[in-house]
C-alpha cells in the first residue's frame, strides 16, 4: 500500500501528473538516483542490495544518465571512490548491505569527518555469523556512531521519496554530512508496490540541478562547489590532525549535526507541498498517541504491521499508540520526550540486539526520557532477527499483555524477545 498523505492545498504536482510504477524497493531507489543528477556511482554487489546498482547500470548503458559508473572490487573501495568524488565536488552515491557495510566502516568515518554529502542506500540485512541474507537492523546500528545521518523508510514509496530528499539534506550548507537511507532487505528491497514517481525535470528542479551550487568563475572552472578540491583554489582534505586541532574539528562535526533536524523538517515540508506526501514532520510520525496509555516505538517496515494492529485495537477501545521513528541519527531526544511524556508504558521495538546490553534504540529512548520527573515504564522488545516475520498476532498479543502488566504495575523482564522459539 502506498503511503500517501493528501495535501489540504493541492500539491504543485498532483497525483494525476505523477507517474505510477510497479517496482520493488531496490528499483525505486535506482530510479530516484537516476533522477537526482548523480555524477558518480560506485558499485559493488551484495544481496539484497545488488538490484540497485544493476538497475542503475542499465540506465548508464542505455545512455539515460550522464553518470560515471565505477565498478569497484570491494565495499571499502566503493566508499573510497565516493569520498574522492565528493571531495572533488561531485554528487556521489553508493549502496550496500550487511558485511559490505562492515567492510567499509573505516571509510564511513572518513566521509563524515571530511563533511562530504554522500548518499548511500543501506538495504538492511543481518550481520554474520551465522550467515544470513535476510533483514534486521544490525548493519544500521553498526554505523550509528560514524557521523552519518540515518533515515529509515517504512515502504517502497518512502524509499523513493527519501532517497531524493537525502541529496538535498546532505548538500545543504548548514549540514554537509553524508546520509544513509535505510530500507529493509527483502521486505522492501524485493517487494513490488505501486508507487508514484515525479517527472525527471521536477526532481531536477527540487535539487537545484547538478551539484554546482556557486556561480563564481574561477580560472577555467565555470562553476564550483564550495570547499571542494580545485587547483585554482588550493584546499586540503584529511590532513594529519594531531592534538593541536583534532578536538576542535570533531566538535565542528558534532555541531553540524545540530542543524540536521531543521533541514530534515524543511525538506519534508517542501516535498509535501510538491507531491502531497509527507512523513510526520520528517523525524517522527506519531499515530494515535495523544491519549495512549501504551505506545510502541519502531523503525522500518515493521511499523506498517504495528500500525494496522494499533488501528484495530483502537476500535476495541484500547488506548494504544505508535511512534514511527524516521530519523535515528541525529537522535531526536527532545521530540521523543514531547511525544512520549504522557504515556504510561513505552514498548521499544528493536530489530537488532546488542549482546550484553539493551537494544540501541531502547538505550536512546531511555536516555531521552530519563530526566522526566514522571516518566513511562519502558520495555524493550527484540523481534525479527535474521528476517523472521513480525505477524499481527504477535503484536496484538504483546499489546494485550502490556495492558495486563499495566494493571499490576510490574514490568519484568525489561528486555524481551518477540517471536523467538524457546
DSSP 359-402: -HHHHHHHHHHTT-SS--EEEEEEE-GGG----HHHHHHHHHHH
Q: Starting from the edge strand earliest in sequence, which strands make up the sheet with 415-418, in order?
A: 284-287, 320-325, 294-298, 345-350, 377-383, 415-418
Instruction: Tell me which residue has cell 535506482.
Output: 30
Closest by Cα among 273, 275, 360 to 325: 360
* pLDDT for res 226: 77
pLDDT in tens, 181-239: 999 999 999 999 999 999 999 999 999 999 974 444 445 455 678 788 888 788 888 88
CATH of 284-418, one of 3.40.50.920, 3.40.50.300, 3.30.70.1450, 3.40.47.10: 3.40.50.920
Closest by Cα among 108, 101, 102, 81 to 93: 81
pLDDT in tens, 28-84: 999 999 999 999 999 999 999 999 999 999 999 999 999 999 999 999 999 999 999
* pLDDT for res 169: 98
Q: What is the DSSP string of 36-77?
A: TT-SEEEE---TTTHHHHHHHHHHHHTT----EEEE-SSHHH
* pLDDT for res 233: 81
Distance between CA 164 and CA 379 in Å, rounded?
35
Which residue(s) pair with 181 in the sheet?
Answer: 121, 151
| CB within 8 Å of 249: residues ≥ 6 apart | 113, 241
| CB within 8 Å of 39: residues ≥ 6 apart | 67, 68, 85, 90, 91, 92, 210, 211
Q: What is the pTM of this model?
A: 0.95
Domain boundaries, the chain: 15-212+261-269, 284-418
CATH of 15-212+261-269, one of 3.30.390.30, 3.40.50.740, 2.30.30.100, 3.40.50.970: 3.40.50.970
Distance between CA 417 and CA 136 in Å, rounded?
14
Distance between CA 316 and CA 80 in Å, rounded?
54
> Between the CA of residue 205 and those of 195, 199, 271, 273, what are the distances in Å?
21, 10, 12, 14
* Residues in the chain with pLDDT values less than 70: 1-8, 213-223
* pLDDT for res 223: 60
Amino acid at each position: 500500500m502506498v503511503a500517501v498523505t493528501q495535501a489540504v492545498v493541492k500539491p504543485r504536482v498532483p497525483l494525476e501528473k505523477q507517474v505510477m510504477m510497479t517496482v520493488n524497493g531496490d528499483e525505486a531507489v535506482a530510479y530516484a538516483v537516476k533522477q537526482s543528477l548523480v555524477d558518480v556511482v560506485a558499485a559493488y554487489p551484495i544481496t539484497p542490495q545488488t538490484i540497485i546498482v544493476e538497475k542503475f547500470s542499465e540506465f548508464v548503458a542505455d545512455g539515460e544518465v550522464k553518470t560515471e559508473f565505477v565498478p569497484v572490487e570491494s565495499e571499502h573501495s566503493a566508499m573510497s571512490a565516493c569520498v574522492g568524488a565528493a571531495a572533488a565536488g561531485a554528487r556521489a552515491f553508493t549502496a550496500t548491505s550487511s558485511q559490505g557495510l562492515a567492510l567499509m566502516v573505516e571509510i564511513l568515518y572518513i566521509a563524515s569527518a571530511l563533511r562530504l554529502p554522500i548518499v548511500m542506500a543501506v538495504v538492511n540485512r543481518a550481520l554474520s555469523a551465522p550467515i544470513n541474507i535476510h533483514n534486521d537492523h544490525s548493519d544500521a546500528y553498526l554505523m550509528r556512531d560514524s557521523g552519518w545521518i540515518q533515515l529509515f523508510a517504512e515502504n517502497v514509496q518512502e524509499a523513493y521519496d527519501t532517497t531524493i530528499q537525502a541529496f538535498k539534506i546532505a548538500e545543504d550548507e548548514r549540514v554537509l554530512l553524508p546520509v544513509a537511507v535505510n530500507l529493509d532487505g527483502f521486505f522492501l528491497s524485493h517487494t513490488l508496490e505501486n508507487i508514484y514517481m515525479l517527472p525527471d525535470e521536477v526532481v531536477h528542479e527540487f535539487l537545484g540541478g547538478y551539484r554546482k551550487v556557486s556561480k563564481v568563475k574561477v580560472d577555467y572552472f565555470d562553476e564550483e562547489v564550495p570547499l571542494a578540491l580545485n587547483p585554482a583554489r588550493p584546499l586540503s582534505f584529511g590532513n594529519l590532525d594531531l592534538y593541536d586541532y583534532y578536538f576542535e574539528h570533531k566538535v565542528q562535526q558534532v555541531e553540524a549535526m545540530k542543524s540536521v533536524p531543521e533541514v530534515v523538517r524543511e525538506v519534508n515540508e517542501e516535498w509535501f507541498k510538491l507531491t502531497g506526501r509527507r512523513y510526520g514532520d520528517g523525524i517522527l510520525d506519531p499515530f494515535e498517541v495523544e491519549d495512549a496509555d501504551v505506545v510502541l516505538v519502531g523503525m522500518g517496515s515493521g511499523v506498517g504491521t504495528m500500525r494496522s494492529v494499533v488501528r484495530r485495537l483502537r476500535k476495541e477501545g484500547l488506548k494504544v499508540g505508535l511512534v514511527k521513528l524516521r530519523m535515528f541519527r541525529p537522535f531526536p531526544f527532545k521530540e521523543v520526550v514531547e511525544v512520549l511524556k504522557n504515556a504510561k508504558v513505552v514498548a521499544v521495538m528493536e530489530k537488532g540486539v546488542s549482546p550484553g546490553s539493551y537494544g540501541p534504540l531502547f538505550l536512546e529512548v531511555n536516555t531521552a526520557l530519563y530526566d522526566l520527573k514522571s516518566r513511562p515504564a519502558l520495555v524493550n522488545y527484540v523481534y525479527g532477527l535474521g528476517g523472521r516475520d513480525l505477524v499481527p498476532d504477535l503484536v496484538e498479543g504483546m499489546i494485550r499483555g502490556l495492558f495486563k502488566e499495566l494493571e499490576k504495575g510490574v514490568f519484568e523482564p525489561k528486555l524481551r524477545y518477540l517471536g523467538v522459539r524457546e
